[in-house]
Amino acid sequence: MIKSVSFVLLFLASGVVTAAEIKVAVASNFAATMKQVIEFYHASHLHRVKLISGSSGKQFAQISNGAPYDIYYAANKRFPKELVQKGHGVKGSLYLYATGQLVLWSTSGPSLSEQDLRHPTPARIAIANPRLAPYGQAAQQALANMGVLNELRVKLVRGENINQAFQYVATGNAGLGLVALSQVLASKDVKAGSYWVIPQRYYDSIDQYAVLLTDGEAQRSFYEFIKSEEIQSLIKANGYRITSVSL
């Protein structure tokens, strides 16, 4: 890393290359993984990446209203596709970068299963806000398809995004949470708890798409970097399925 930083400074000092700042908006569930991706990118590229994480719905609204982001990594397909249709995204750049997995998670207790949702003991169960977060939509859909949504409505607490839902469980403000597998794998809290991967049949696939918002050399370099075999393997190791498709 030190060598790469020195390399950057040398080129900047010589005036040969000007490093650009790439503003990347990322869905909350992918923020921890994206930080790792950025570290790899910075080790071999001059350009610097600024990460802005939040709910996909809120970032979609910000971009629609002119927020100066360069790339948008959402937790669904609809938001990036609509941005292209509205003229805020680069045509032909829509890309499936990861497919998320939903889990039931607790920081304590024995192994979890579907029965923990059918006969729950915790007073509160955390999910992301279905209106703003695709993982919240998936959680609500899973509960509905299990036939337990109506029964559990009074127990549900909704975070603005999936990270907030995760924090409700991590801090003990909720006994269970429907969160992203990637969050659990990245958390030290999982060592003292357990999780159950919710079967895909209970919710629509969480296909996470990205779109270029600014079409420049710097933006393209990072956008293509994440498609590399090394980074695809990293994403998979962080709890995502990989079935990359460009549209």
CATH number of the domain where residue 173 is located: 3.40.190.10
Q: At 224, phi and psi to the nearest 5?
A: -80, -30
222 & 162 share domain: no
Dihedral over Cα of 33, 204, 145, 113: its sign = negative
106 & 151 share domain: yes
31 & 79 share domain: yes
95 & 215 share domain: yes
122 & 56 share domain: no
94 & 133 share domain: no
Residue-level pLDDT at 191: 55
Residue-level pLDDT at 237: 94
| 166 and 133 Cβ atoms separated by less than 8 Å | no
Find the domain containing 230 and state its range: 2-99+206-246
Paired tokens of 204: 């629509």
82 & 14 share domain: yes
87 & 37 share domain: yes
181 & 127 share domain: yes
Query: Which residues of the chain fall below pLDDT 70?
Result: 1-17, 188-192, 244-247
Residue-level pLDDT at 246: 53
Q: How many structural domains are present in the chain?
A: 2
Q: How far apart are CA 133 and CA 197, in angstroms?
A: 19
210 & 145 share domain: no
